[in-house]
Amino acid sequence: MQLLTPFFVMMRARQLGRQFRDIERSIRALPKRNRTRLSTLTLREIGQASRSDFPHLYGTPPEARYQPWGQGTEAGYERACSNNPEVALRGIALWLAVAYHETKNSPHASLQPQHRQLMQLLRELKEAHSSGSVAESWMQNSAVA
């Protein structure tokens, strides 16, 4: 299994990278008002995930708990591709939250670039808030997560 782990991690990094590009494209296409809503939804999802026993498995059914990666990013990505704007917004928030926790403290070097890209995108979402006090509380609350 030790020989296959780097291969699986590399494949996971490629999958997250591909999904990230699509998610990023969707976020950049959003109007400013929806980006502000997305930042609030994302903060909420990150907080809820951090309160779960296994934050990187947030959005994964309990019976699939022992997998190295959960199903939260797949569920979020699928919803993000929805034609319904509300479902798509919530899917993007779920994907961002799960991908954040999955890559946050990863011991695998191939997942660290995804985390840096994700943090940059989250910072841009934080800046999408119009008032400074909300933006400051956004980062403070997510730092707890």
DSSP annotation string for 84-110: SHHHHHHHHHHHHHHHHHHHHT-S-GG
Number of domains the chain is built from? 1
- Collect all residues with Cβ–Cβ distance below 8 Å to 106 and sequence separation of at least 6: 112, 115
Domain that holds residue 26: 5-144
Measure the N-to-C terminal CA separation of the chain; round to a whole number of Å: 32
For CA atoms 97, 99, 104, 106, the dihedral sign is positive
Which pLDDT value is given to residue 139?
52
Query: Could you read off the pLDDT of 81-128 as tens digits, one per residue?
Result: 999 999 999 999 999 999 999 899 888 888 899 999 999 999 998 887
Other beta carbons within 10 angstroms of residue 42's beta carbon come to 26
